[in-house]
Structure formats: structure tokens, C-alpha cells
Structure 1
Amino acid sequence: MLKKLAFIIFSCIVSLSYAQNNTDFCKQMDALNQRVQQHHFRPKPLNDSLSKSVFYSFLERLDENKRFFQQSDLLLFQSDEFQIDDAIASGDCSFIEKYSTILKQRIEASKSYVASLKNETFDYSGRDTLYFSAEAKSGYFKDDFSFKKYWNKRIRYSILDHLVEQDSAFSYLEENFKSLEAEAKPKIIQNQLCLLDELLHKNGEMDIFVKESFLNAFANYQDPNSFFYNDSDKSQFEDSVSNHQLTFGIDTAKNKNGDIVIAYIAPGSAAFLNGNFEENDVIKSLTSPIQTLETFCVSNEDISAFTSNEKNETIIFKIKKQNGSIQDIQLTKTELKVEQNSCTAFIIKQKYNFAYLNIPSFYTDFDSPLGNGLAHDVANQLQILSKENVKGLVIDLRFNGGGSMKEAAELSGLFINKGPLAILKYGNGDTFTITDHFKGTLFNKPIVILIDNFSASASEFFAAAMQDYNRAIIVGSPSHGKASAQVILPLSETDDLGFCKLTIEKFYRVTGKSHQSVGIVPDIILPSLYDVFKTNEVHSPFALSNDAISPNLRHISYKKLPMTEIQSRSKIRVENNESFKAIKSINSTMLNNYIDRDLSYALTLNNIYDDVKNYNDLWTNFYQAIDLTTKNIIVKNTAATRSKLSDADIKLNKILIEDISTDIYIHEALAILSDVRNIKLH
């Protein structure tokens, strides 16, 4: 447990119960503030600035799309705007009660009104208008009239949108509209009622959701990567960066009827070995020693949170089989390898043999004395590649959000001949240099590293080190811009108050520069679907600033490659590549017509049909353009992988090979590797 917590990552009965929960919230609020002040890299003072920011962030979390609160509620809440800092300092948490009470009332009122629409005849003549604006910020409802107008319009829009998605022929929809609308209306209303019920039971119950929303608003005010974690949050996060986990081996999903069903059973898992579970079984309830969760109108996220909670090690699954029978099956978690957190090299056959390696995350093994995780797995793959006569390597870090900094440092050491890798800076100003002390490398051929806007934290640590040592060519889009490390800390010695993930240090490149809020800028930038979409950390509220420090140690880089010529060749290829042209085109269209759209039209079947059709046609044309212009390349498994593939692996392996063979970014990375080799040979 200590190892996990120290891991750096980037009526009367009701009244008594409520009072007890409120006491816990007071303790959580106080403990979180103490942890922040003691451990955060740059804790912000308790003052009116904090109070105002936390207040509005809290409201945003409670009612993100302004669908529930009214302006009269805001007048009531407004007294807290500059008092939250005083409440935290004094330990007075009574302010929280009204938010939960009013939010429940507003959601219940929404349910009541939406249910009443079943008997109302809707107007689709276009007398009402739909507005789409990226810049205009919607306000809270003025009164009951505006609240009812919103929900009435929302249900009508959902019905028309559903009809258009169900049938692509406008003439059919127009001719049969009356019967189709009558059939769709109760389904759409019931679905919306179910979604509202999910909100009422979010995080188990509304009171808990409201309190955890406040704790997260407070933590997030410090920086975008600091959070409050309940038991389930902590378990899910650790599972995401671990190569082993305690699990039932069941993935769930919602079917069209709104039931929670078993979508996948992991081979070798507890559910698999039990033998009584089947895909498409409906889960009716989950019972742990602590509580029972009924699954009707509960989100799939809440199901995942319940099953991943480390305190729910044994659960009774009430299952409805496809033959209609009901079974109660008790299941206890067992340890299972996380297949998503593993890496396998592929061989790409061209003029030269190149290798491709996707790194999904910087996962680690919390329970191994040696901490064998990603770096250990990559080292094994590099040993395998040494027998395959490859002339270069593509390492794919796209959509890799990071993980263990230790793994990132050890991975860097596999490719450089010792030296400083990065510099950590603590809140008190002290610094520590992370160094690879081991001579030699496991791979000395050319490397291209693919990154994108979602490559973050440990991914950026590794990419920066490889770029600063001239050890790899970085290709793709500027990365996320997260140059900070976090630690998970308990809020109490008994873990009963939950946990917090806090930013405790920033890290800098060996040059002393920081990529915080800037990202790793690739040596060769390729067009991306997400260009200018504001997904990077710099666009997050309260993002840490960019700065620089003076390094104490000098790093000895490898010889510089002729980047000007390599960049020039890549630029010519990209400008003449129809797939990259299609990416530029759809990015521009998405930005202008959807992300930054400023549009309004009458609420009619015809207008919604045209809007949906235009959007679907945009993506259809894009995928057609990609399919027509992208040639498959020959991708094969290494000999070592082929000898170990089981029947269960073959289908997934085929999909992976197909994805690699048609990925234009991998194609360009391979072309760059060929350029490096050809230029070196001359």
C-alpha cells in the first residue's frame, strides 16, 4: 500500500446519517486543504481569489450545460462567492447542503416536466429556433417558463435527430413522419428520464456527487492535474497505469434498452473461470459487503466505479440470462494482466526492414520488487528485434497520456549512452537531476517518435530526452504540454476520507527549458485532425506557467542529423499526399462549421435532416478519401510473437496489423526513416 501511495505519476435516521456524512465532508475539506498546503508544488493561498474561482468551477461541475439551475438559485448561492475561503479556514461546511438540495429539486422538476410531455402534441413547424454558437455563453434559466421551453425544445430536437439517424431517406421520413414521430416520442422521453435518474444517482447518490464536485473544484484550482479521488477513482487510475490488476474480468456496456450487459469477459479472469457468465447477460444488481447497486437507470461509468473499487473485492452479481432465468453468482477478484498495457513490436517489410512499436502508456508493476513495467517490456522487444535485422524503429506515443516517470527514465536509458535525462524542481526551489547511469544502449539504429496533442507527461519526458540527445526525430503535432509530476496521498491514516492526487514537482529538459503549457514541438510537424482544437494543457483553467532553470550538468548529444534536408523531403511528400490534404480540409471544416460555428435555424425536420446529413457526409467523404489514397504496407509479427500467438490472440492481432498497414502517419514515419538511412549512406 505504501508503495502505491508514494508512486509519482504524472425522518431521524436520515438526519443522523446526513449529519454523519456532513461531518465526513468537513474532515475531507480540511484534510484536502492541509495536503495541498503541505505538498502541492505551488499551493495557492486561501483568499477571495481562491473563493471566487472555486465557487464558479464548482457550479460548472454541478450543472455543466446550465440545464437545471435558475437565476433565483444563483442569487441564493451568490453569498458563498467570497466566503468559501473562510468556510475552509474555519471548518464550517454547512454551505454545501443547499447545493445538493436545490440540484435534486431541479432534476426532479425536470423529470416531472419531461414525463408530462408524453401527452403533449409537439410543434415541428419551425416557430422555434435552434441556436449554435461557440462564443456565446448560455445563462441559467430566468424562470420556470424558460426552463420548460428548453426541455420542450430539447425533446423535440432529440426526436427529429433520432429519426434522421434511423433513416437516410428524407422522402420516407417526410411521408411517414406522423407514425414515426409517435413511435419515437415515448422512447426518447423515457431515455431522457433515465438519463436524469442517472444524474440523481451519480457517484452513488447526489449528496456524494455534490461534495466530491466541490473537493475537485478546490483541488483543480491548484492546477489541472490535481484531483480528489474516492476509492473507485483511485483504483481505476492505478489500474490504468499498472500492467496487472485485481479484477473480475468483466467489461460492461449499455444496450439499446438501457440495460447494463456483459460486453466482454477477459480470458483467464475470475468471470471466465467461473463459467456461469456469458456475453449479453443482463446485470440486474451488484451486491458487495458494503452496499447494493441496482442497475436500472444507472450509468455504465457508475457500474465500472463499483466493480473497480478495491474495497469491493467480492460481489454477488444478479444476472438475467438470455433464457430469462435469474442467477445470483458470487465472484471474487483475481489478478490479471492488463492487455491494454503491454507492447509488441511489428516488422514492416519495405526496401529495408523497419520495426514499429506502439507504447499505450507508461505502465508499471506496483507489486514487483523490481518494478518491471514498460521499460522491461520494451527491452525484451528490443532483444527480439536484434534478431530481425531491422534498420530503424518507429515508436508511437500518440494518445499516450503518460504514467510512471520511473518507466520513462528507464526507457530513455535504453537508447542513450548514459547522462542526465531531466531536472525535477520541487516547491521549495530545490532541484534533482534524473540521470541514466548505465553505459551502452539496447538499440542504436535510427528512431522516429510519433506524438500528437494527447501525448502527455511521461510521454513528453521521453520524447524530450530523445530530442535533446538528437537520438530520435520527433514527428507529428505539438504534445499536450504537461511537465509536472503527481503523487497520490490519503486524506487520513485509515483511508476512510478518500485520497488526493497532487502536483508535487515540475520537470525540465536537460537544457533547462520547460515544455509546460508549450509541449514538445516536433522536428517535423504533420497535419492533424485536432489542429487548433484547444486540447492542450495551456487551454485548461489554472494551468501552470512555462519557465526555465539553469541546468547543473551538461549532456553530450549524438551527432546532429541533416534535419533541413529531411524536413524538406517530408514537406514535399505531405503537400502531395491526398490523405494529408483530406485531413487539412476536414480540420478546417470542423473548426469553421462545428467547433467555432455561429448558426441558427428553425426547428424543422428538413433543417435538422440537412444539418445531420452534412455532418455525416463530411466524415463519409473523408474516410473515402483516406481509403482511396492510402496504400497498404506489409506488416508482420516478429518470429518470437508468431510462436506465442494463441487462437484468442489471432483476431486482435489481425486488426492491429490492418491498422498499422493503413496508417498514413506511420507511412510518413517510415519514409523519414528511409530518408535518414539513404542520407547516411551517401
Structure 2
Amino acid sequence: MIHITSIRHLLITSLLSGFILTSQVSANAVSSLQPEPIHNQTIQDIVKSLNQDHYNDIVLNDELSGKILDQYLEALDPSKAYFYHTDIEEFQQFRNQLDDEIRNGTLDTAYLIFNRFQLRTTERLEKLITTLEDPAFKTNFTLDETLETDRSESNWPSNEASMQEFWRKRLKSALLGLKLADKTIEEAEEVLLKRYQSQLARASQTNSEDVFQSYANALTKQFDPHTQYFSPRRSENFNINMSLSLEGIGAVLQSENEHTKIVRLVPAGPADKAGQLKPADLIVGVGQGDDGEIQDVVGWRLDEVVALIRGPKGTIVKLEIIPADGEEGQHKIIQIRRNKVKLEEQAAQSRIIELQHQDKPYKLGVISIPAFYIDFAALQRGDTDYKSTTRDTAKLIEELKSQDVDGLIIDLRNNGGGSLREANELVGLFISRGPTVQIRDPEGRVNIMGDSDPRVAYNGPMAVLVNRLSASASEIFAGAIQDYQRGIIVGGQTFGKGTVQTLSPLRHGQIKLTHAKFYRISGESTQNKGVIPDISLPTLYDTEEIGESALDGAMPWDKVHEIPHQRYISFTSILPEISDRHSERRKFDPDFLYMNSQVQRLNENKKDRLLSLNEKTLQAERNESENWLLAKENERRTAKKLDNIKKLSDLEELLEKDSQGRTISPEAEALLTETGRVLLDMIELTDKYIAIKN
């Protein structure tokens, strides 16, 4: 995100963005929650803000009313596990009236639906608890049964029998997963009993404010996924977090069904350095210290999970996770030492890689930029040596030039954005002057930002390395370099975050809404589509799970007028040759062969949406997966003339760390090396092209 919605902002926003998914009270004493008078006024304030300030001009009518209803039901019961089909049919009478109620400040329907949800979840939890407390309860893991893992296209259960059958399988799957994680069946039953009792006990914590926020966000999400309402309590947490006064692991989290999902790792944060967490991993348990017991957090509210993960600097937190790239339901326990993310640790860093090309040695400078940062406090104090992305990068460029590098790689992988000012000024280090980005407001007015300084810090050949987690300001920089044909863009399709958000106070809480959109100087938006690299590298990030296009209701890609601008190098004649050379190398490179096999395997696994409930079958599938991974790793190691490993866990001890203590991934290094080879191809072919042209 940009400036006001920096990576820190994204972290905190994500930490606060979960819907109330599993809050219940006892079915024997289900209390009906009602809206408070301030909520009736606030929903009207939200509508007013959306109508006046949001980028999208969306009319609150019957069609939108139906979408709000669908979104609200999806937010409450995403797995279609609590409501009956008859409940959903009953709610259809409200499909065309929510718009009128919202305009009038009426919230009765929203609370009626939520109270029904409370009743259904309470009924189900009490039945699960009764089942697990029954001494006669037994589960047969020898039957050939399966559980549907993706219920997005399924219907709500039609009656009690179908509801019971779904939950019988779901309970069996949960027990089997714990059993295969080395728990006895008695221990597994105890874990689940505590899980459901904990969810039931949380019922008393659900209040009218929680319901209102959930419903208000069903409305705001119709405008775009980044527009969001914060209640006063959530606003207070947001402001505390913006000051970075709390310590944790440095991860962007969100609720997904009953789990806590990793969205992004904060660059240079503890989780990033540990190298064990990845985007789309699911957190199912949290423990404290080396020997602390893992506490099951399935079904917990997001803020409660975050409270467990946070803690004093230097202490250990244990996370039980379901890896995104593992077999369905397979668990893994990792340890991370808590710390603060320091500005200097997010600063740009440089190094030199040496490669052979056409039998000649070359030195390439690499500048890794984790975020687009600026020390505003130091700037406002008048410090002449304040830190910023552009200033730090300029210094690193001078150091690299003094070492006679032959080319430069700007590494923006996993850079989620930051200051728009810095993105603009960083482009200015590589062009003499000119526009860098266009910003369009809701009225269609376009503001052009650019570089007016004719000085250039580096005028040599360059490449920009990006991936799916390169977002917002990173996309502005990469897009500008591509439009100017100042350098070659290598890597994966970027995130596609091309909108700007502002945070505005309301009488009750505050609203974050999208009020502008970014466009490249070519006229193309970065929204939804992101930046398409000139040379694509393999990626293990699932674009259906990660990226703007994976978000429901994401604003579409579009265009405005192109701004006349200079083009430094004509890639048209040489890109086909560069691409052919790259493709040829991929056929034989051990790391690329390994990554390609991983991508193929992940795509195959995505097609299988049924999870076996037979213990022997599921264990065999997991064994086969681990053996396959081990075999592929050893194939790669053999090709690279490295010693084979006996088990995958041995690999973690062999991985090196960088100067910031981050684990160096062989895949990440292979992508960087190939980017260097692409850059050297560009240098060679550009020289030939210029010679021919002259």
C-alpha cells in the first residue's frame, strides 16, 4: 500500500479485518443481540462517506441489497456448516429490502440473521461436545470415506440428517488429522472437546458492536475489498499498532473460515528471517516458549489469536501450522523468536554476484529493497541524513559503481509497497526526468507525479526482479521502468494492488475507503492485473489464493490516456532471443527443474477436493508426498554435486543465512542468478542491436 496504507498499515488492517465466525452462547440461554442507537446513525454515516468519497460510484439499490445479504451470510458461515437451507430460504424475503433499511438506519434484519447464526452454531457445538463426552463414542478410521474440502459450490444442509452427516465426517477428519500428528485418540478427542468448549464459552464476548461491524463490512465490501469499517475498539487497536508499540512475529494475518491465515510476511521481521512461514499457511495452534503447550486456536477470533502470538521481545512463540504447500490437513510445528521490525533492518541492502557469460567474468550489483520507507520523523526534525529508500539506494549505487559492476538488479521480491513519494523518487535515480505515475480521483481528475531532477544516479543496464508479493509502490516502480524501457522486468506477475485508501473518522469508529487509483504512464492500471514481467520465472505462489485478483470484489483493470515519455532501449528486437535463451537454460537447470516439478505437483493437488477419512489411505498419501519431495530434492542435489539428505528436516540445517539473519532459499537464489543471466543476455544483445543499427 502507499504511504498512508504502508506495509505497517497493511499489517494492522489485516490483523483487524476478521469477521466474527465462531462466536456462540449456550443454546439453553441464547440471548438476542440488538443494535444500539449509535449503530443506526453510524450505518447512515457509512453510506454517506461511501457515496461522497469512494472511488466507485455504486448505487444502493435492490441489486446491491441482494449482494449485501449474500456477503453477510458468506461472512458468517463460509463453510455452509451451521445454517440450514431452510434458514437461507427464509432470509431471501429480505433480499430486496436491505438497501431501504440501511438508508433508514434500520438494522433489525442484520441482527435477526446474526441471532439465528448464534443459535445454529450453539446447537451444533453443544451436540459436538455431547458426542465427545459420550464414553460410547468411537470412530472407525478403516472405512473408505471422504470429506469435501471446498464447499464454496455446495448447498447448505437441507435437514438435520444431512447436517449430522456433514459434521460426523468433519469431526472424524479433525480427529484423524490430530491422530496422524502423533496424538492418541484420547488426546485428539480432548483437544477437540476443549476447542468446542472454548468456542462455546466465547459466546458471552460477542456483543452488539461485533455484529454491527460484521454487517457494516458486508456493505463496504460491495465497493471493494480494501474498504472497511472499524468500530471504536478496533480503531483504538489500529492506532496502537500504527505506532509499532507491540511486538510479535511480523506477519500479516486474516481470518479464513475457522483458521488464521498468513497473508504476507513483513520484510526483515522475525517470521521472514526464520524462513519457516509462507503466505497462505494456516495457524491452528499457538504455544509459549520452548516447552509451552500448544493451545488450539481453531475457531478463535482473529484479535485473540494475535494477542497470543504477540509477546515480549526475545521470547519464543510456537505455531502449529497447516502448510499451504503440504498435503491437506498435514500439521507442522515451528518456533519463532519475537522481535520488533526495525527501520534499519528494512533498509535497502546491496551485494555483488559474479557470473560467467560467453566465457567472460561479469560482476552484477544487486540491491534488495524490502519496502518503500522514509523516516518522516527525522525529515520533520530537519535531519540532513534521514533514511529513505531513495537516499539509501543512491548510496548503494555509488558503492557498487566504485566496484565496477557491469549491471544492476533491483530486487523487489516480497516488497509490499510503502511511500508513494519514495517510489516516484526511486524511478528518478534511473531516468533523467519525466512522469512516473498517474493518480485518478473519483471525479476522474488525473494527477501526474514525476521526476524533475535531470541527475541520474545510474545509467547502466538494469533488471528489476519481482514476484507475486511485489505490490503497490513496487508495481509503480517496476511499471515505470518497463514503460520507459529503462530495464528488463523479470520474475512473476505482481500482486495487482493499484488503489489508494484513506482513513476517515466517523461519529462512531472510522472508515478506510478507496478514493483513488494508480495508472502507469502507459495509461494502464496496475490494479488487478499487476505488472507482467518481460521474462517470466516459475513461482510457487498460487495466484488463485494470493494477489488482488484473488480477492472477491476487486476493482477491475482499466486504462487512461498514455503520457508521452522517452524510451531508453528498444526491447522489441531482442526480447524473443532473450526469452529463447532463458527457456533453453530452464530445460537443464537443476533448480528450475525442481521448481517446475513443484508447481506441477501443486496444480495437481489443487484439483483433488476430497480428503480421505481412511487412516491407512491418508497416511500413505502423506508418506508418498514426503518421499516424492525427498526424491526431488536429492535429484537436485545430485545434479548440483551436493551430498544427498536422508530426510527433509535435514535441509533446514544446511540452509545459509544472509546478513540480516534471513534464511537463504535455494529457489530464491536460483531466480536471482537467472535474472543475472537474463540481464547479461540483454547487455550482449543490446550492444549487438546498437552496433547493427549504427
TM range (shorter): 0.7 to 0.9
Residue 361 (1) aligns with residue 371 (2): yes
Q: Which moved more, 1:453-462 or 1:41-50?
A: 453-462
Closer/same/farther in 2, CA of residues 368 and 57 from structure 1, 3 Å limit = farther
Contact 1:342–1:360 (Cα < 8 Å) also in 2: yes
- Aligned equivalent of 2:53, options 20, 39, 54: 39
Unaligned runs of 5+ in 1: 168-179, 254-263, 267-277, 284-293, 310-314, 321-333, 633-649
- How far 1:80 moved relative to its partner? 2.4
1:565 matches 2:566: no
Say whether the 8 Å CA contact 1:132–1:597 is kept in structure 2: no
Shift of the alpha carbon at 1:281?
Answer: 9.9
* 1:451-470 pair list within 5 angstroms: 451-470=466-485
Rounded to whole Å, the distance in 1 between the matches of 2:236 and 2:430 is 33
Match of 2:346 among 334, 341, 350: 341
The equivalences for 1:456-535 within 5 A come to 456-492=471-507, 497-530=508-541, 533=544, 535=546
1:543 corresponds to 2:544: no
What is the distance in 2 between the residues matched to 1:130 and 1:676?
A: 52
**What is the deviation of 1:5?**
9.2
Equivalent position to 2:446, from 410, 431, 446: 431
Q: Structure 1 97/352 Cα, relative in aligned 2: closer, same or farther at 3 Å?
A: same
Per mean C-alpha deviation after superposition, the further-off stretch among 568-577 and 365-374 is: 365-374
Equivalent residue, structure 2, for 1:249: 247
CA contact (8 A) 1:122 1:156 kept: no
Structure 1 distance, partners of 2:396, 2:126, is: 59
- Equivalent residue letter for 2:221: N
Determine whether 1:659 maps to 2:665.
Answer: yes
665, 671, 674: which one aligns with 2:677: 671
After superposition, the C-alpha distances for 1:24-51 in whole angstroms (9 at most, x for unaligned) are 3223322221111111112210101111
Please say if residues 227 and 502 of structure 1, whose CA atoms lie closer than 8 Å, have aligned partners that are also in contact: yes
C-alpha distance after superposition, 1:179-207 (max 9, x if no partner):
x323433234334544x359748xx6354
TM-score by length of 1: 0.75
- 1:532 CA drift (Å): 6.0
Shift of 1:52: 0.9
Shift of 1:232: 7.3
The amino acid that maps onto 2:524 is K
Q: Does the CA-based 8 Å contact 1:224-1:541 persist in structure 2? A: yes
Conserved 8 A contact 1:236-1:305: no
CA separation in 2, counterparts of 1:192 and 1:473?
54
TM-score normalised by length of structure 2: 0.73
Whether 2:103 is the aligned partner of 1:97: answer no
Aligned residue in 2 for 1:643: none
Displacement of 1:88: 1.3
- 2:7, 2:417 within 8 Å by CA — same for their partners in 1? no
Q: Does the residue aligned with 1:105 lie in a helix, a strand or coil?
A: helix
- SS of corresponding position for 2:422: helix
- Partner of 2:166, secondary structure, is helix
Match for 1:357: what amino acid?
A: I
Does the aligned pair in 1 maintain the 2:33–2:207 contact within 8 Å?
A: no
Cα distance, 1:297–1:480 mapped onto 2, change above 3 Å: closer
Q: How many Å separate the matches in 1 of 2:451 and 2:538?
A: 34
Q: Is the 8 A contact 2:248 2:309 kept in 1?
A: no
| Distance across 2 between alignment mates of 1:403 and 1:252 | 16
In structure 2, give the amino acid aligned to 1:418.
R
Q: 1:156: Cα distance to partner?
A: 1.7
Change (3 A) 1:621 1:409: farther
| 1:486 CA drift (Å) | 1.9
Partner of 1:217: 218
The equivalent of 1:576 in structure 2 is 588
Residue 614 to residue 281, structure 1, CA distance change in 2 (3 Å): closer
Three-state SS of the structure 2 residue aligned to 1:166 is: coil
Partner of 2:131: 117
Q: What does residue range 319-398 of structure 1 map to in structure 2 within 5 Å?
A: 337-338=342-343, 341-350=346-355, 351-365=361-375, 367-369=377-379, 373-398=388-413
Residue 522 of structure 1, CA deviation: 0.9
Secondary structure class of the residue paired with 2:662? helix
Can you list the C-alpha shifts for 1:285-331, whole angstroms capped at 9, x where unaligned?
A: xxxxxxxxx9999958424766999xxxxx999x99xxxxxxxxxxx
- Answer yes or no: is the 8 Å Cα contact 1:133–1:596 preserved in 2: no
Q: Which of 176, 179, 185 is the aligned partner of 1:181? A: 185
Partner amino acid, structure 2, of 1:187:
V
Which of residues 409, 421, 445 is equivalent to 1:406?
421
After the TM superposition, which residues 14-413 of structure 1 pair with which residues of structure 2 at under 5 Å, given as runs? 22-118=36-132, 119=134, 120-124=136-140, 126=142, 129-132=145-148, 137-166=153-182, 180-194=184-198, 196-197=199-200, 200=203, 205=206, 207-230=208-231, 245-251=243-249, 299=300, 301-303=302-304, 337-338=342-343, 341-350=346-355, 351-365=361-375, 367-369=377-379, 373-413=388-428
> d(CA) in 2 for partners of 1:239 and 1:349?
45
Q: Any idea what the Cα deviations from partners look like across 1:241-286, whole Å, max 9, x if unmatched?
A: x8xx441435599xxxxxxxxxx999xxxxxxxxxxx956989xxx
Q: Aligned partners of 2:100, 2:378: CA distance in 1, in Å?
A: 45
Give me the identity figure in percent. 25
Instruction: Tell me, in whole angstroms, the C-alpha distance in 2 between the residues paired with 1:491 and 1:669.
Output: 48
Deviations 1:546-566 (A, max 9, x none): 322223x41112122532332
Q: For 1:221, what is the secondary structure of its paired residue? A: coil
Q: Which moved more, 1:575-584 or 1:499-508?
A: 575-584
Q: Is the 8 A contact 1:104 1:206 kept in 2?
A: no
Give the match for residue 645 of structure 2: none
Equivalent residues of 1:8, 1:404 under 8 A apart = no
Residue identity matched to 2:662: L
The answer on whether the counterparts of 1:513 and 1:547 sit within 8 Å (CA) in structure 2 is: yes
Seen in structure 2, the aligned counterparts of structure 1 residues 130 and 408 have a Cα distance that, compared at 3 Å, is same
Contact kept? 2:249, 2:309, Cα under 8 Å: no
Q: Does the aligned pair in 2 maintain the 1:531–1:587 contact within 8 Å? A: no
2-structure distance, mates of 1:71, 1:23: 32
In the alignment, the residues of structure 2 paired with residue 360 and residue 306 of structure 1 have an alpha-carbon distance, to the nearest angstrom, of 26
Counterpart Cα distance in 1 of 2:341 and 2:661: 23
Amino acid at match of 2:606: I
Q: Does 1:441 align with 2:468?
A: no
Cα offset, 1:466, TM superposition: 0.5
Cα displacement string for residues 584-620 of structure 1 (whole angstroms, at most 9, x for unaligned residues): 333233223x22225475x321222233334444444
Q: Tell me how far apart the structure 2 counterparts of residues 467 and 615 of structure 1 sit (CA, whole Å).
A: 40
In 2 relative to 1, CA 550–182 (structure 1 residues): closer, same or farther, beyond 3 Å? Answer: closer
Q: What do residues 53-102 of structure 1 show as CA deviations (whole Å, max 9, x unaligned)? A: 11111111111112222223323432322111111111112222223322
How many residue pairs were aligned? 587
In structure 1, C-alpha distance between the alignment counterparts of 2:686 and 2:668, rounded to whole Å? 28
Report the RMSD for the aligned CA atoms in angstroms. 4.3
> Conserved in 1, the CA contact under 8 Å of 2:414 and 2:470?
yes
Code of the residue aligned with 2:156 in structure 1: it is Y
Tell me, in whole angstroms, the C-alpha distance in 2 between the residues paired with 1:298 and 1:598: 22
Q: CA 1:199 to 1:448, structure 2 compared with 1: closer, same or farther past 3 Å?
A: farther
Cα distance in 2 for partners of 1:230, 1:374 equals 34
Most deviating of 127-136 and 116-125: 127-136
d(CA) in 2 for partners of 1:581 and 1:90? 61
Taking the aligned partners of 1:189 and 1:620, their CA distance within structure 2 comes to: 36
Question: Match of 1:401, SS?
Answer: coil
